[in-house]
């Protein structure tokens, strides 16, 4: 197709495409050359092939890697989309200008005919404008097509990110604390069972009825996601007392154990009442992940 000015330089440019990267004047072993629109088509198709699948059995680390890939693709697709919209606007402006020029040219010829019978029509000029306008219409159609395809890609990536976020919210957050009391050792071990060494764990204990009993609480022991509370009686060398009001049959020592679990996606507070074996309250979580827009 014929091109003029900036659009000729842009749309007739040969692109080098390899490994899904489109760039002007790039070189890459195994790459192939293609026209501008072929390059756009190839880039969108390649990015579609890179959108990660999210099967139900993905572990948390795999989900995070898939999320990282999807976010990079989303950024790339948005950049392509913005550039295509700018190109569409430029094509529209040029089409409007060419239409106005054609109308003016034809009007001028018609006026000349009125003044000078038998003048030869400048058909080449009129045809050249018709060709340019036809080319611009074709490019506008292609721009609209690839804007729509890129929007579909963005929607697919966002759907994938939503799937990842749902799975991570279901399976990659802390569960309720459990406590195991061992009478022979006079201690209770508290455990958060969804283990991720990238999370931070901040343990606390509060027991106003017997403040000294809290001295037996060992944070992050034997692991980051566990804590051990030694609560033997003072009579046998422990830190606690077991008199009325200081020891409750359904709780044991009336202390409140908490752990704040923090990751790049959430902050969760897990709570357990007492020192007897059991399962604590459902975690209270607040999302801290920045959502894509």
Mean pLDDT score, 135-155: 93
Mean pLDDT score, 34-59: 90
For residue range 268-286, what is the model confidence (pLDDT) as tens digits? Answer: 999 999 999 999 999 999 9
| Residue 117, pLDDT above cutoff 80 | no
The CA distance from 227 to 54, in Å, is 35
- pLDDT-wise least confident of 48-57, 168-177, 277-286: 168-177
Q: How many percent of the chain have pLDDT more than 90?
A: 53
- pLDDT-wise least confident of 62-66, 186-190, 193-197, 230-234: 193-197
Global confidence as pTM: 0.65
Mean pLDDT score, 94-115: 66
What is the sign of the dihedral through the CA atoms of 105, 109, 115 and 119? positive
Question: What is the Cα 172 distance to its own chain's centre?
Answer: 16
| Average predicted confidence (pLDDT) for the chain | 82
The CA distance from 213 to 221, in Å, is 17
Q: What angle do CA 198, 204, 209 make, to 5 degrees?
A: 165
What is the sign of the dihedral through the CA atoms of 273, 266, 201 and 57? positive
Mean pLDDT score, 118-128: 61
For residue range 204-254, what is the model confidence (pLDDT) as tens digits? Answer: 999 998 999 999 999 999 999 999 999 999 999 999 988 866 677 788 999
Q: Identify the residue with better confidence: 17 or 259.
A: 259
| Residue 257, pLDDT above cutoff 70 | yes
Contact partners, residue 158, CB within 8 Å, separation at least 6: 74, 292
Phi, psi of 260 (to 5 degrees): -100, 120
The CA distance from 275 to 247, in Å, is 10
| Residue 101, pLDDT above cutoff 80 | no
């Amino acid at each position: 197709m014929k091109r003029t000015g900036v659009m000729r330089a842009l749309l007739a440019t040969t692109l080098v495409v390899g490994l899904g990267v489109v760039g002007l004047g790039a070189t890459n072993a195994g790459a192939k050359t293609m026209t501008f629109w072929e390059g756009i088509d190839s880039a969108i198709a390649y990015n579609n092939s890179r959108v990660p699948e999210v099967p139900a059995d993905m572990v948390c680390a795999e989900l995070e890697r898939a999320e990282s890939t999807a976010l990079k693709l989303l950024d790339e697709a948005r950049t392509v989309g913005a550039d295509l919209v700018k190109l569409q606007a430029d094509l529209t402006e040029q089409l409007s200008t060419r239409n106005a020029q054609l109308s003016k040219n034809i009007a001028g010829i018609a006026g000349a005919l009125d003044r000078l019978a038998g003048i030869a029509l400048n058909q080449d000029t009129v045809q050249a404008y018709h060709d340019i306008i036809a080319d611009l219409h074709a490019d506008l159609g292609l721009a609209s097509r690839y804007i729509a395809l890129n929007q579909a890609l963005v929607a697919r990536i966002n759907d994938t990110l939503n799937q990842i976020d749902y799975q991570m919210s279901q399976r990659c957050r802390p569960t309720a604390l459990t406590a195991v009391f061992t009478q022979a050792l006079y201690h209770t071990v508290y455990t958060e069972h969804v283990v991720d060494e990238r999370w931070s764990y901040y343990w606390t204990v509060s027991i106003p009825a017997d403040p000294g009993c809290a001295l037996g609480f060992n944070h992050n022991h034997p692991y980051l996601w566990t804590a051990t509370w030694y609560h033997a009686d003072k009579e046998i060398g422990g830190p606690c007392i077991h008199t009325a009001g200081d020891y409750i049959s359904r709780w044991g020592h009336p202390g409140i154990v908490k752990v704040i679990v923090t990751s790049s996606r959430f902050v969760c507070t897990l709570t357990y009442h007492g020192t007897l074996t059991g399962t604590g309250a459902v975690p209270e979580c607040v999302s801290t992940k920045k959502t894509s827009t």
